[in-house]
Structure 1
Amino acid sequence: MQKIKFTLFSLRDFLVAFGPVLALFCGLVYLGYRLADPAPSKLVDMTSGVPGSTYERFARAYSSELAKSGVTLRNANSEGSQQNFERIRDPDSVYEVGFVRSGSTDPEQAAEQGLISLGALFYEPIWIFYRSKSDWRSLTQLKGKRINLGARGSGIQRIFTELLQLNHVQDSDVSIQRLPDQQALDSFLRGETDVLVFCTGSDSEIVQQLLQNRDVRLFDFEQAEAYTRRLAYLSAVTLPRGIIDIGADLPARDYHLLATTVTLVAHESLHPALVSLMLQAARTIHSKADWFSKRNEFPSERFTEIPVSEHAVKFYEHGIPVLQRYLPFWVANFIERMWFVLVAAGAMILPLSKIIPPVYVWRIRSRIYRWYGQLREIELSLEQEAQDWQQGMQRLDLLENSVNQIVVPLAYAEELYGLRSHIQLVRSRLQAAAQGDQQAAPVVGTV
C-alpha cells in the first residue's frame, strides 16, 4: 500500500482540478440530450395476422430479433392485410408497424395519412383451387361459382375484383363467401364451396394440404405476364415442377402464378433508429431463398406502392449503420443522436481544459507551501521572545509531525524535502537558544 502513495501522478488532485470542467461538459451534454431527438421507445406495437398464419409467424420472428437489442415487439393478431393497413393509418391507434399486401392499399391516401414503407419482404402468390375434370384456362370459367375469399380483413377482395374485371367478369357473376381459411377449407371439402382463393405464402399449411390433394386442381395463370402489365403491383412467379416433392414429381409441371408482395408498412412517427433495427431483423428473416424468391432478393425497396422511408433508403444503400456494426444498439444510437452535441460541447470545453495543468500543480504545491507560514511564525517568535524557546520547540515538533504526513507525487518530492530541511534549520536555532547561544547564524533560504 505504501508503494501506491509514491506515484508520479495524483489522481485525486487531478479529479479536483478537472471536476469543474467535467461538470460543465456533462451539463452541456445533458442539455443537448434533452433538446435533441428523443431516444427510441423500447416497445413497438405490430399488427400481424390471424393466429397460425404466415404473418403471425413472422411477427414472432421479428419479436425474437428485436429482443436481442433490448426492444420489445408486442404483436396483435388481425384479420389480415386490410385490417393492418386500417390500424396503422388510424391516428388514434397504438400500432406503428405491420404487414400490408400490395394491391390492397391506396398509395396516395397512404402517403397523405403519414404511412411509409420499409420495403417489400416476400412474395405472396394468389392461389386459386378448384375441382374439375379438366384444367381451367381462363377466369371466365368462374362465372356462377361459389368462391371464398377469406375473412373480410384479408385484403384479397380488391385484387380479385380487378382480376375478374380484366376478364369481363363482374362481382355479380359469382357468389362471394367470406369464411375464415379453416372453415372455408372444410366447406370446400364438403362441396359447399366451389373455389378457394388464397393470397398467402407457400408455407401455409392449408395451401400445402391442397397442393398434395390429387382431387384438387391449381389454376395456372398462363397469361401471368399480361396481368403484370395491367396491374403493376403484381409479379409473375413460377411454382417449379417437383418443388413440393421431387421424388414424387409433385407438381408434375410448372405452374404460372401471380403474386403480390408483402410490405412492412409503418407510420412516419416510427423512430429512425427503430426503422434501421426493423430492417436488420427483416434482412435476417427474409433474405433466405424459398419457392419463389432467390437468396437476398428480399427485403427490397422495390415492389412497394407506398413511398419508401428515406431512412430505409439509406439502409438499402449503405447497409447497417457503421456504429451499430461494432457497438450495442443503444450505445450506437446514443452516439449517432448526440455526436453533434458532443462535438460542440468539446469545442467549448477545450479552451477551459488548458487551465487544468496549472490548477493541478497549484494544488500539489499548496500542500507544502502553506506550512511555510507557520514555520516563519515560529522563527519570528524566536527572534522576538528568545527566552520562550521551549514553546517554540513544541510548535516545531507539531509542525514537523504534520509535514511528515504529507503525501505528494514523486515529481514534487523536491519541494517536500526542501521544507523538511528548512524545519531542521529552525530547529537548530531553537537548540542553540536552549544552550544560550545568542550568536547563531540567521536561517538562510526559508520562505
Structure 2
Amino acid sequence: MTLPTRLLWSLLIAACLVGGVTWAILLLRPPNQLTLAAGPEDGAYHRIAVQYRAILARDDIALRILETAGSAENARLLADGTADVAILQGGIDVAGETVEAIGTIFYEPLVLLYAANALISPNPTHWAGLRINSGVEGSGTRAAFDAFEQAVGLRPDANEHSALGYSDSIAALLDGQLDLAVFVAPIDAPYLRAAFESGAIGVLQLDFIEAISRRMDNASLVQIPPGTVSLDPPIPSGPRQMLALEARLAVRHDMHPALMNRLTMAALELHGGRDILQDEGDFPSVSGTVLPVNNSARQLIVNGPSTWHDWLPYWMAAQLNRVVILLLPLFFIVLPLLRALPGLYAYAQNYRVWQNYPVMRTIEDELESGSDPVTLDEMAERLTELDDHLAHLRLPAAYRQTAFQARVHIDLLQRRIITERRRLAAEAEETASVAAGAESTATS
C-alpha cells in the first residue's frame, strides 16, 4: 500500500470516527423544552413550578407552565400527553399506565380555616348545615375533602358546598359568607399566611385526628409547632396536629432520560432541605408515590448523583450513567470471555490437525493386527493423502509445529508399512523356496 493510499484510508477512518461521535452526541441530546401542569396562578403548585423553571433555565431548558384547576386536572393532562410533567396531590389517580413518579416532594397539610366568631365542632361527624368551601372542580382540594367526608362518614349533602378559589374563599370567610374553608397546601402558602395574620380566622384542630388519618388512604399526620407562620405574634399560638398528603412529581414514562435526570436533580435541590415539616433528606422520597417510580430517578434519589455530574453537561451525565448501568453486567460476562479467547483460538487451530489423528490411529491398529499387501497399499495411499492435506493446511506460524508432529507420525507409519511389506515379501519368498525344495525332492 502506497503512502497516498494509506493517508487516504487514515483520513477516511478519522472522518468516520468524527461522524460517529457527532451522531452519538446529537442522538443523546434531549429536547430543550417541557410542559408542566401546575395549578392556579395564586396556588403553591404554581409558585413551585416557577422555581423549577428557574433551575431548568440554567441548562437552557424552557419550562412552559400550564395554569390548571389543580391536581385532578393535572392528572388528566399528564395522562393524555398535554403535559410532560405535573405536580400531583397524594391520592389523585392517573388513568392508564403511561405515567411514572420521580418521587414524593413535600407534605401538604389539610388546613381547615374557620371564622373566629363561628362555632365549629372539632368533631367532623357533628357538622351539619355548614357553608363549606371545599375547592373548585378538578382541584386536589376537592378530591381530598371528598375522601375526608367518606372517612368520617359525612354525607355530601349534609353541608352546603361552594367552589371558590383560594383567595376568594379567604375573603368569603372574613365577610361571614363561609363557615369553613378547606385547603390542601404548604402551611406557609402566601394566601394562608394572609389568613393567619388577619386575626379573624382560626385553624380548626380536629378531634380523633389519628383515627381519621388511618381511615384516609395516602394520609399521614404532621406536627405544626407554634410560631410556624410567625413568631411575633406567634402563629399558630400552640402546637397543631394536622392531616397531610404527600405531593408527587409525576412524568410521562417516555420522557427523555436526560430530562428525567435533570428534573430529579432539580427536585433534590428544591425539596431536599429542612423546613418546618421535614428534616433534611426526607424528600424527595421514592416511597408513598402509589405510581411506579422511574428507575433513573430512584437511583439518583437513593444513591445521589454520580461524580461526572459535576463536570459533564447534564444530558451527557444522564446517558453515561445509564450506559454504565447497562454495560456493567456485560463487563463481568465479556471480560472472562476475552481472557478465554486466546485459549479457544489455540484449541481451534490445533483441532484442525488433531481431527486427522483418528485416521492414523485406525491405520496403526490395522498394522498391529497384520495386513496383506493390498491392504498395505491402501493404507499407504491414505497416509499419502493425509500428509498432502497437512502439508497444504494454512496455519499461523505458532501452530505449525502441531502439523509437523502429525506428519512425523505419518512418516513413521509409512516406514512401518514398508517394513511390513518387506516382512511379507520375505515370508512369501521363504514359503516359495520351501515349496520348490519339496517339489524337487518329490521329483527325484
Output the TM-score relative to the length of structure 2. Answer: 0.67
- Is 1:118–2:106 an aligned residue pair? no
Measure, in 2, the Cα distance between the counterparts of 1:241 and 1:338. 50
State the match for 1:80 in structure 2: 70
Corresponding residue for residue 55 of structure 1: 45
Aligned equivalents of 1:215, 1:32: Cα separation in 2: 63
Partner of 2:200: 215
CA contact (8 A) 2:28 2:319 kept: no
Query: Which residue type is aligned with residue 54 of structure 2?
Result: S
For residues 309-328 of structure 1, the C-alpha deviation after alignment (integer angstroms, 9 at most, x for no partner) is 11211112221243222212
Q: Contact 2:103–2:284 (CA<8 Å) still a contact in 1?
A: yes
Distance 1:84 1:13 in 2: 63
Change (3 A) 1:215 1:338: closer
Q: Is the 8 A contact 1:104 1:156 kept in 2?
A: no
Deviations 1:141-169 (A, max 9, x none): 32110110222221222221222222221
After TM superposition, give the deviation of residue 24 of structure 1 in Å: 3.0
Contact 1:101 1:261 in 2 (8 A): yes
- Please state whether the residue corresponding to 1:238 is helix, strand or coil: strand
Instruction: Map Cα deviations across residues 39-66 of structure 1 (whole Å, 9 max, x no partner).
Output: 3211111111111321111111111111
Letter in 2 for 1:104: I
| Amino acid in structure 2 at the alignment position of 1:148 | N
Match among 62, 81, 85 for residue 97 of structure 1? 85
Q: Which residue of 2 aligns with 1:240?
A: 225
Partner SS for 2:275: coil
Q: How does 1:128-143 map to 2 (within 5 A)?
A: 128-131=112-115, 132=117, 136-143=121-128
SS at the partner of 2:309?
A: helix
How far does residue 14 in structure 1 lie from its aligned partner after superposition?
10
| Separation of aligned partners in 2, 1:249 and 1:32 | 58
Which region of structure 1 is more displaced relative to structure 2, 112-121 or 211-220? 211-220
Evaluate the alpha carbon distance shift between residue 218 and residue 28 of structure 1 in structure 2; reply closer, same or farther with a 3 A threshold. Answer: closer
Q: Could you tell me which of 137, 146, 159 is aligned with 1:152?
A: 137
Q: Following the alignment from structure 2 to structure 1, what is the Cα–Cα distance between the partners of residues 319 and 283?
A: 29
Aligned to 1:68: 58
Compute the displacement of 1:38 (Å).
Answer: 5.4
Indicate if the aligned counterparts of 1:54 and 1:203 stay in contact, CA closer than 8 A.
Answer: no
CA distance in 1, matches of 2:323, 2:240: 54
Structural mapping, 1:266-285, within 5 Å: 266-285=251-270
Q: Deviations over 1:204-253 (max 9, x none)?
A: 22211222333322111343322332223011001112223334333221
Q: How many Å apart are 1:294 and its aligned residue? A: 1.6
**Are residues 169 and 39 of structure 1, via their aligned partners in 2, closer, same or farther at CA, if it must alter by over 3 Å?**
same
What is the one-letter code of the residue matched to 2:277? F
SS in structure 2 opposite 1:307?
Answer: coil
CA distance in 2, matches of 1:334, 1:242: 45
Report how far residue 88 of structure 1 moved: 0.5
1:182 deviation in Å? 1.9
Give the aligned partner of residue 352 of structure 2.
none
The separation in 2 between residues aligned to 1:286 and 1:64, in whole angstroms, is 15
Tell me the C-alpha RMSD between the 2 structures. 2.9
**AA at the equivalent of 1:177:** S
* Stretches of structure 2 lacking an aligned partner (at least 5 in a row): 331-444
User: Residues of 2 paired with 1:336 and 1:292: CA distance?
Assistant: 33
Aligned amino acid, residue 10 of structure 2 = F
Structure-2 residue corresponding to 1:287? 272
> 1:178 Cα shift?
0.4
How far is 1:333 from its partner? 4.7
Q: CA separation in 1, counterparts of 2:321 and 2:240?
A: 49
Verify: 1:204 aligned to 2:189, yes or no: yes
Instruction: Measure, in 1, the Cα distance between the counterparts of 2:213 and 2:79.
Output: 27
Whole-Å Cα distance in 1 between the matches of residues 93 and 250 of structure 2?
11
Cα distance in 2 for residues equivalent to 1:216 and 1:332: 50
CA distance in 1, matches of 2:241, 2:275: 16
Q: Determine helix, strand or coil for the equivalent of 1:264.
A: strand
Shift of 1:288: 2.4
Quick check: 1:115–1:265 contact (8 Å CA) kept in 2? Answer: yes
1:336 to partner: Cα distance: 5.5
> Contact between 2:133 and 2:182, CA under 8 Å: does it hold in 1?
yes
With a CA cutoff of 8 Å and minimum separation of 6, indicate the structure with the bigger relative contact order.
1
Question: How many residues of Structure 1 are paired with residues of Structure 2 in the alignment?
Answer: 324
Task: Give 1:128 deviation, angstroms.
Answer: 0.6
Equivalent residue, structure 2, for 1:297: 282
Given that 2:114 and 2:180 are in contact with CA atoms closer than 8 Å, whether structure 1 keeps it comes out as yes
Structure-1-length-normalised TM-score = 0.66
Q: How does 1:208-357 map to 2 (within 5 A)?
A: 208-333=193-318
Is the CA contact (8 Å cut-off) linking 2:38 and 2:74 kept in structure 1? yes
Partner SS for 1:288: coil
Report if aligned partners of 1:54, 1:201 keep a CA contact under 8 Å in 2.
Answer: yes
Letter in 2 for 1:223: F
Counterpart contact for 1:135–1:217, Cα < 8 Å: no
Deviation by residue 1:237-293 (Cα, 9 ceiling, x = unmatched): 011122233343332211110011110011111111111100111111112222211
